[in-house]
C-alpha cells in the first residue's frame, strides 16, 4: 500500500539492517501535524454518510503500490523475485471485529510511513478541509480527490495498524494510531510482516462490525473496486483459503469479440443495481487526442429514479481502471437513464471536482460519448424499429428534454423522436414519415398539447384537421409544452399548435367526395350572433370569431394569434410563474345546428340569448379541461334553460 501523500518510494534505501528485538519493542510516539489532527476529527465524527468509501480508498492505494512495484521492477527485476504476481488480499475476522487489506506491492520504510501517514506533506489535506467547510453532502466524493483516502479508515475503525516492508528491504515497520492526535512507529520482526508490501489492519468500531461480513465486503468490492488492475482475493477468516472476487481484468478493456451477452448483462446488473436485460449495449474505445474506453447500457425498463428532480447522470468515471466518481457529468441530463462508465487513460488519478467540471478534456469526452449514444440509438431505430420504440416508450419524455436544452443536437433528437398522432392508429410515428405525408399546401407540423392522450385526441380543435386528413402530433408529456415553443423546425417545417391563433386551413383541400365543409361562411344571422357574443362575453374573452377548425363541436377555445399556447400557460400558472392568464379566443362553428338555432332567436328572447352565450363559453371551457369560473352561475343558467325546455308544469 501507498498513500497519495507518500514520498517517491524509489528514493528509499534498497536495504536496511534488521533492528534488534529491544529496538522493536520500543515504539516511538509522534503527534500528528495540526491539519491532520483536524482531519482525523472529521473522520472519527462521521461527517460522511457513505462510509463504504474507506474500502475503495484502501484498495486503490494497494493497487497503486502494486503498480509502482511493477514500474520499479523494470529497472530491478529482482524486486519481483519472491512473489511476481500482484495481489490484494482482504481478510475478515468477525470474531475479533477486524478487517485487513494487504498488498504485495512496493511497501514503505519507517521513514516513509511517518511521512505518508503523519504529516500533510504533499497531500491536499488543507485543501480538503477548506472544501469540507464550503461543501454540503459531498464528502465521500472529496475523500479520494485530495489525497486523504487513507484517513477515511478512521470512519469505521477505532485503531488502525499499518505493517509494511519495502521491496528489497530486510526491515519492516509498523505504524499505528487511534486517530486521537498521536501515532506510533516501531520496527517489527519480519515474520510478523508481509514478505513484501503493506498490511492495513482495521480494528472496527462496534457500529461498523458489518465490514467484517463477507456479503458486505464483497458487494463493496464488486461495486466500487472490482476493476482495479490487480486481482483481489478474500479470506472469510484468517485461516480460510483465499477466494478470488475480482480478477484484475476490467471487462471494458477486453475485446468485444471475447465478451458474450450474458457477461455484459451480469456487468450491467452489478453496475446499475437493476435486474432487467439492457435494451442497448455500447462498448468501444476512443483513440486520438483523448484515449478512453466506454461501456454503457440503455436499460430495458425505467429506472426508479428516472424522474429524479436532481436529473443527475449515472455514468461512473474511472482513471486507468481506478474509480473516481459517479458525478462527473459525462452525459447531459436528458440521457440520465444511460448506465455505464468511462475509463480515461489521460486524466490524473487525483482529479478534483473542479477539474471534472471545468476540464476541456472532460468536455471533449462528454461531447464524444453523447454523440456516440445518440448515434447508436439512431442505428437501433433504423435496424430494429420495435426495439427502438420500446426504448422510446420508456425514455421518450426524458429524451425530449434535449429538444429544449441541447440546440447543437436538436436535429439528431428530432430524428429520434416518436409520437402518437391522429394518423398513427395507436402506434408511433417519426417526423420523417410525418413530413413525407404532408397534405397539399400544408406548410407546418401541427400538434396538440394536453395532459391525457385520449382527451387530446378528442379535442374539438382537431376536428377540422382530421376532416382534411392533416396529421396532428398528440403531445401529453409535461416537457412537450416547452420544446415546441423554442422556435425549432424539422426539414424547414415549423411546429404549430392547433389551439393557437387562426388555423389557416382554408388552403388545404378536403378529400374528394367529402361533403363536410368546415370553415363555411357564416350566415348573416350567425354573424350578428357572433357580434352579440363579443359584446356579452367581452370581459371573459379576447375575441369571438367563426371557426374553420370545428366540424362537430359548436365551440372551442384557442389562444390569441400572438398569445402563449394554452397548455403551457396552464402549466406556468399552476407553478406560480405566470401571475395572470391571457383571455382566450372563443371560436364558433357557424354551421352547427345549436349555433344556427341560437342565432335565430328574436329580440324577445334576449334573456335566453344571454344565458346561452355564457353556457357556450362554459361548454368550451369544459371541452378544454378548464375549471368553470363561476359554477353557481353556470348551474343557475342551466336550470333556467332546462325549465324553459320542459315548459309549464314540467310537461
Q: Binding residue per annotation — 495?
A: no
| 11 burial level (CB within 10 Å; 0-12, 13-18, 19+) | exposed
Distances (CA, A) of 492 to 322, 444, 488: 48, 9, 9
Question: Could you tell me if 516 and 554 are in contact, meaning their C-beta atoms sit under 8 angstroms apart?
Answer: no
Is the four-CA dihedral 479, 481, 486, 492 of positive or negative sign? positive
Distances (CA, A) of 617 to 502, 534, 551, 574, 588: 18, 11, 17, 22, 10
Neighbours of 244 (CB within 10 A): 11
Question: Could you tell me if 517 and 591 are in contact, meaning their C-beta atoms sit under 8 angstroms apart?
Answer: yes
Contacts of 536 by beta carbon, 8 Å cutoff, 6+ apart: 609, 610, 613, 614
Q: Binding residue per annotation — 262?
A: no
Joined grid coordinates for residue 88? 490484494
Q: Binding residue per annotation — 54?
A: no
Element (H, E) at 297: strand 292-298
Phi, psi of 244 (to 5 degrees): -75, 130
Q: Binding residue per annotation — 543?
A: no
Q: Binding residue per annotation — 29?
A: no
Distances (CA, A) of 158 to 4, 97, 99, 621: 22, 11, 12, 69
Neighbours of 639 (CB within 10 A): 11
Return d(Cα 133, Cα 152) in angstroms, integer.
17
SS3 409: helix
Joined grid coordinates for residue 404? 429544449
N- to C-terminal Cα distance for the chain?
98
Element (H, E) at 463: helix 463-467
Q: Walk across the sheet containing 493-497 and list its strands.
A: 429-430, 418-421, 472-475, 445-449, 493-497, 489-490
Which of 375-378's residues contact partners 24+ apart within 8 Å by CB, and which partners?
Answer: 375/412, 376/280, 376/282, 377/280, 377/298, 377/416, 378/412, 378/415, 378/416
Q: Binding residue per annotation — 224?
A: no
Return d(Cα 228, Cα 436) in angstroms, integer.
52
Return d(Cα 51, Cα 188) in angstroms, integer.
31
Question: Could you tell me if 142 and 131 are in contact, meaning their C-beta atoms sit under 8 angstroms apart?
Answer: yes
Q: Binding residue per annotation — 124?
A: yes
Q: Binding residue per annotation — 314?
A: no
Q: Binding residue per annotation — 455?
A: no
The DSSP code for 626 is P
Q: Binding residue per annotation — 321?
A: no
Joined grid coordinates for residue 421? 398522432
Contacts of 89 by beta carbon, 8 Å cutoff, 6+ apart: 100, 101, 102, 103, 232, 233, 234, 235, 242
Question: Could you tell me if 305 and 399 are in contact, meaning their C-beta atoms sit under 8 angstroms apart?
Answer: no
Region of residue 237 (phi > 0: left; psi between -120 and 50: alpha; otherwise: beta): beta
Q: Binding residue per annotation — 61?
A: yes
Q: Binding residue per annotation — 419?
A: no
Question: Could you tell me if 130 and 39 are in contact, meaning their C-beta atoms sit under 8 angstroms apart?
Answer: no
Return d(Cα 589, Cα 520) in angstroms, integer.
9
Residue numbers belonging to the annotated binding site: 57, 61, 103, 108, 123-124, 145-150, 198, 353
Residue numbers belonging to the annotated binding site for ATP: 57, 61, 103, 108, 123-124, 145-150, 198, 353
Amino acid at each position: 500500500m501507498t498513500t497519495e501523500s507518500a514520498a517517491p518510494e524509489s528514493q528509499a534505501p534498497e536495504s536496511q539492517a534488521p533492528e534488534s528485538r529491544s529496538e522493536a519493542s520500543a515504539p516511538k510516539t509522534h503527534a500528528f501535524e495540526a491539519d491532520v489532527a483536524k482531519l482525523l476529527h472529521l473522520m472519527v465524527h462521521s461527517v460522511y454518510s457513505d462510509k463504504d468509501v474507506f474500502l475503495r480508498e484502501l484498495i486503490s492505494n494497494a493497487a497503486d503500490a502494486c503498480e509502482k512495484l511493477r514500474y520499479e521492477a523494470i529497472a530491478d527485476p529482482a524486486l519481483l523475485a519472491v512473489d511476481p504476481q500482484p495481489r490484494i488480499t482482504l481478510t475478515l475476522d468477525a470474531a475479533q471485529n477486524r478487517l485487513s487489506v494487504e498488498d504485495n506491492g512496493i511497501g514503505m520504510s519507517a521513514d516513509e510511513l511517518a511521512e505518508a501517514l503523519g504529516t500533510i506533506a504533499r497531500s491536499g489535506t488543507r485543501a480538503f478541509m477548506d472544501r469540507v467547510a464550503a461543501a454540503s453532502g459531498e464528502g465521500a466524493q472529496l475523500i479520494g480527490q485530495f489525497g486523504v483516502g487513507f484517513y477515511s479508515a478512521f470512519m469505521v475503525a477505532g485503531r488502525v495498524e499499518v505493517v509494511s516492508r519495502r521491496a528489497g528491504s530486510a526491515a519492516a515497520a509498523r505504524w499505528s494510531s487511534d486517530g486521537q492526535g498521536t501515532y506510533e512507529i516501531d520496527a517489527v520482526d519480519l515474520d510478523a510482516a508481509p514478505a513484501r508490501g503493506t498490511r492495513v489492519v482495521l480494528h472496527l468500531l462496534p457500529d461498523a462490525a458489518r465490514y467484517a461480513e463477507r456479503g458486505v465486503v464483497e458487494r463493496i468490492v464488486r461495486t466500487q473496486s472490482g476493476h482495479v488492475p490487480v486481482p483481489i482475493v478474500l479470506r472469510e477468516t484468517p485461516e480460510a483459503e483465499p477466494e478470488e472476487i475480482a480478477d484484475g481484468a476490467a471487462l471494458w478493456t477486453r475485446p468485444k469479440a471475447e465478451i458474450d451477452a450474458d457477461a455484459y448483462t451480469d456487468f450491467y446488473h452489478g453496475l446499475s443495481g437493476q435486474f432487467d436485460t439492457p435494451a442497448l449495449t455500447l462498448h468501444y474505445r476512443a483513440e486520438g487526442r483523448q484515449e478512453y474506453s466506454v461501456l454503457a447500457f440503455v436499460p430495458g425498463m425505467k429506472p426508479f429514479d428516472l424522474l429524479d428532480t436532481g436529473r443527475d447522470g449515472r455514468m461512473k468515471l474511472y482513471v486507468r481502471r481506478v474509480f473516481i466518481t459517479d458525478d462527473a457529468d459525462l452525459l447531459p441530463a436528458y440521457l440520465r437513464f444511460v448506465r455505464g462508465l468511462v475509463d480515461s487513460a489521460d486524466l490524473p488519478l487525483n482529479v478534483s471536482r473542479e477539474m471534472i467540471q471545468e476540464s476541456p478534456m472532460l468536455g471533449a469526452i462528454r461531447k464524444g460519448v453523447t454523440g456516440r449514444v445518440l448515434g447508436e440509438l439512431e442505428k437501433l431505430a433504423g435496424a430494429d424499429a420495435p426495439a427502438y420504440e420500446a426504448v422510446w416508450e420508456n425514455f421518450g419524455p426524458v429524451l425530449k428534454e434535449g429538444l429544449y436544452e441541447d440546440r447543437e443536437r436538436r436535429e439528431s433528437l428530432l430524428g429520434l423522436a416518436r409520437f402518437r398522432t391522429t394518423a398513427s392508429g395507436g402506434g408511433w410515428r417519426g417526423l420523417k414519415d410525418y413530413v413525407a405525408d404532408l397534405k397539399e399546401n400544408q406548410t407546418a407540423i401541427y400538434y396538440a398539447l394536453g395532459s391525457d392522450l385520449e382527451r387530446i385526441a378528442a379535442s374539438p380543435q382537431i376536428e377540422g384537421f382530421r376532416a382534411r386528413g392533416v396529421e396532428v402530433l398528440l403531445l401529453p408529456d409535461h416537457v412537450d409544452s416547452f420544446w415546441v415553443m423554442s422556435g425549432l423546425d424539422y426539414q424547414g417545417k415549423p411546429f404549430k399548435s392547433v389551439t393557437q391563433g387562426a388555423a389557416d386551413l382554408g388552403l388545404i383541400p378536403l378529400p374528394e367526395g367529402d361533403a363536410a365543409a368546415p370553415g363555411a361562411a357564416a350566415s348573416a344571422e350567425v354573424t350578428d350572433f357572433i357580434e352579440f357574443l363579443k359584446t356579452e362575453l367581452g370581459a371573459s374573452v379576447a375575441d369571438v370569431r367563426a371557426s374553420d377548425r370545428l366540424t362537430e363541436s359548436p365551440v372551442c377555445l384557442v389562444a390569441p394569434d400572438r398569445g402563449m399556447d394554452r397548455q403551457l400557460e396552464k402549466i406556468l400558472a399552476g407553478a406560480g410563474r405566470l401571475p395572470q392568464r391571457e383571455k382566450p379566443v372563443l371560436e364558433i362553428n357557424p354551421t352547427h345546428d345549436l349555433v344556427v338555432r341560437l342565432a335565430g332567436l328574436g329580440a324577445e328572447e334576449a334573456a335566453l340569448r344571454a344565458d346561452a352565450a355564457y353556457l357556450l363559453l362554459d361548454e368550451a371551457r369544459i371541452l378544454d379541461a378548464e375549471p368553470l369560473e363561476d359554477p353557481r352561475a353556470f348551474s343557475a343558467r342551466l336550470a333556467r334553460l332546462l325549465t324553459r325546455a320542459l315548459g309549464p308544469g314540467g310537461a
